[in-house]
Amino acid sequence: MSEKGLLISVTVVKKLLKKHYFVKRKAFKNKPIGSSKNRNEQFENITKLKKQYLMAGNPVISVDTKKKELLGNLYRDGHLYSTGTIEVYDHDFPYLADGIIIPHTIYDLKYNKAYVNIDVSKDTSEFACDSIKLWWVSYGQFEYPNCTSILMLADGGGSNSSLHYIFKEDLQNLSGEIGVEIRVAHYPPYTSKWNSVEHRVKLNN
């Protein structure tokens, strides 16, 4: 507009944007990339199971492995108190990192509490089961002393994939080790964002 000889102030631009209902918006992840058969029935079953477990006083946990993070003198969002300038590398290349951590998160629906276990190996079913075991021996068995069964909500991919036999075997071994039945309810494909841990637990860099 300045090339056409029209000079408009920032104030006028703001007024025009407001007049025509333009506002700053963030992208909203709401468009599914696919659908699955019997999706509604699966959600109804999960809702029914959650009610049954909570009414019986048994734990309902939502689990997920969060994004891997690089360790080291690398940039992170946020602020912290310091008496001087905080300098980090101007790039976040993997070779600059001291290592990689993998956070596995467990969210307790009844008590609205989250537990994050961190590992430096791989996102495997063994790691996921070790994380659940650590939650149980450290917190779960004390918060649910009369527990007869654990309901675990998870999406169908990653270390807790519904298609991986090794995950089922590791989970069975864990159940035998802690002496409590573990029941898994997987969310339908393309619906992992509805898993409680996804919108109740946010991990920032």
Q: Is 57 helix (H, G, I), strand (E, B) or coil?
A: coil
In a domain, 178, yes or no: yes
Q: Which tens digits make up the pLDDT trace of 143-155?
A: 999 999 999 998 8
User: How high is the pLDDT of residue 202?
Assistant: 67
How far are the Cα atoms of 21, 32, 122, 154 from residue 158, in angstroms, in the given order? Answer: 42, 19, 11, 10
Q: How many domains, the chain? A: 1
pLDDT bracket for residue 95 (50, 70, 90): confident
Which residues does residue 105 pair with via DSSP β-bridges, in sequence order? 64, 116
Question: What rounded mean pLDDT belongs to the chain?
Answer: 85
Percent of the chain predicted with pLDDT > 90:
37
Total residue count of the chain as it appears in this document? 205
What is the gyration radius of the CA atoms in the chain, in angstroms?
23
| Domain annotation covers residue 180 | yes
In a domain? residue 196: yes
Distances (CA, A) of 166 to 24, 129, 162: 46, 11, 10
What is the model's pLDDT at position 30?
Answer: 65
Residue 83 lies in a domain: no
| pLDDT at residue 33, as a whole number | 59
Q: Is residue 7 part of a domain?
A: no
Could you list the residue range(s) of the whole structural domain that residue 143 is in?
37-69+103-200
Q: Given pLDDT bands bounded at 50, 70 and 90, which one contains residue 205?
A: very low
Question: Tens digits of per-residue pLDDT, 10-49?
Answer: 898 889 899 998 988 887 666 665 566 777 888 899 999 9
- The residue that leads in pLDDT, 194 or 88, is 88
Model confidence at 113: pLDDT above 90: yes
pLDDT band at 182 (very low <50, low <70, confident <90, very high): very high
Q: From the CB of residue 69, how many other CB atoms can be counted at a distance below 10 Å? A: 16
82 in a domain, yes or no? no
CA 80/CA 76 separation, integer angstroms:
11
User: The CATH number of the domain where 185 resides is what?
Assistant: 3.30.420
Residue 3 belongs to a domain: no
Predicted confidence band at 2 (pLDDT cuts at 50, 70, 90)? confident
